[in-house]
Amino acid sequence: MIYHTPVLLKEALENLRVKKGGKYIDATLGDAGHTIEILKKGGSVLGIEINEGALVRARKRIEEENLSQNFIGILGNFKNIEEIANDNDFNEVSGVLYDLGYSSFELDYGGFGLSFQKDEPLDMRLDKSLGVTAEDLINSLSEKELSNLIFNYSDERMARKFARAIVKARNLKKIQTTLQLAEVIKSVSSPGYERGRIHPATRTFQALRIAVNDEITNLEKSLPRAAHLLLPGSVIVLITFHSLEDKVAKDFGRSARSSVKEIFEKPITASYEELEANTKSRSAKLRVFEKIK
């Protein structure tokens, strides 16, 4: 089985300062890459995961490592972290970890239509109880709404042009798959788009994932709730992958109402070795918040 390569693993564990017998919440369990290391160090973990398939994979992996004894896996959204923690007697914890975004498995093989590596229905919902799919947004928002969504959630400078092309294309034929959408965007992007470093549809797909899964609101709701669960002196370790998530993190640390303070002035980023080994670590930023009151 091929698993997601955990990003900033060493840095996350160092900052969580895992203690034998300590209780930790992994708010984004994924393939349990971080959780397994916490369990190996003698911590107990409550893992929260929104994608049922991912939770099944993680449970199986943890079982294979013989580490199930101190692990509880819950299907849920981290925006409900406090309730989930209270229900599972994890209301006074030594650390909470967030490794945001999606696992490689979800992005490349998950069948969610999250990326354009494969032609899949434009769904993007990790949680199927959410009402609106990416297909709904692409085919029903006005040109202006689409342009705003793409720009606001990804800083895509060609948002207006892409929105216009999407509306034109959908008037001829409904846009229902990832490759259909990627092609529409590519057909109107400039040849030198980002000097070829990324596909022209990359940022639009990011914007759609954020909108469909309500990523920003989930994080804004979750962080103060996680802070309530921390024992004095313990920490939230948060790994973000795009500037909007990182802004929520920074604001959380600076808010006067916050019961935490950010420990480092600047976020921790991947080492040269990690950057070489795993391109997904390029945009990762790790911030640490310590409980102060």
Ligand X SMILES: C[S@@+](CC[C@H](N)C(=O)[O-])C[C@H]1O[C@@H](n2cnc3c(N)ncnc32)[C@H](O)[C@@H]1O
Name the binding residues.
Answer: 32-34, 49, 78, 99
- Examine residue 34 and tell whether it contacts ligand X (CB under 6 A): yes
| Distance between CA atoms of residues 8 and 99, nearest Å | 9
What is the rounded distance in angstroms from the CA atom of residue 230 to the CA atom of residue 10? 21
Residue 43 is a binding residue for ligand X (CB under 6 A): no
270 binds ligand X (CB under 6 A): no
Task: Please pick, from the candidates 18, 39, 54, 235, the single residue that binds ligand X as defined by CB under 6 A.
Answer: 54
Residue 32 binding ligand X, by CB under 6 A: yes
Residue number, 54 or 158, with CB nearest to ligand X: 54
For every residue of the chain, DSSP letters joined together read: ---PPPTTHHHHHHHHT--TT-EEEESS-TT-HHHHHHHHTT-EEEEEES-HHHHHHHHHHHHHTT-GGGEEEEES-GGGHHHHHHHTT-SSEEEEEEE-S--HHHHHHSSS--SSSS--BS---SSTTSS--HHHHHHHS-HHHHHHHHHHHH--TTHHHHHHHHHHHHHHS---BHHHHHHHHHHHS-TTGGGGSS-TTHHHHHHHHHHHHTHHHHHHHHHHHHHHHEEEEEEEEEEE-SHHHHHHHHHHHH-TT-SEEESSSS-B---HHHHHH-GGGTT-EEEEEEE--
Residues 216-255 that bind ligand X (CB under 6 A): 218
**Which of 15, 44, 51, 147 touches ligand X by CB under 6 A?**
51
Among the candidate windows 101-109, 148-156, 182-190, 267-275, which touches ligand X by CB under 6 A? 101-109
**Of residues 148-207, those binding ligand X (CB under 6 A):** none
Residue range at the interface with ligand X (CB under 6 A); choices 13-21, 28-36, 164-172, 271-279: 28-36
- Give the annotated binding-site residues for S-adenosyl-L-methionine: 32-34, 49, 78, 99
Shortest spacing between CB 188 and ligand X, in angstroms: 31
Nearest to 162 by CA among 122, 113, 199, 195: 199
Stretch that binds ligand X, among 16-24, 48-56, 146-154, 198-206 (CB under 6 A): 48-56
**Stretches 42-50, 152-160, 161-169, 177-185: which one binds ligand X (CB under 6 A)?**
42-50
**Residue (180 or 218) nearer to ligand X, CB:** 218
Question: Interacting stretch for ligand X, rule CB under 6 A, among 72-80, 197-205, 255-263, 266-274?
Answer: 72-80
Site size for ligand X, by CB under 6 A? 23
Binding site for ligand X (CB under 6 A): 4, 6, 28, 30-34, 48-51, 54, 77-79, 99, 101-103, 106, 126, 218
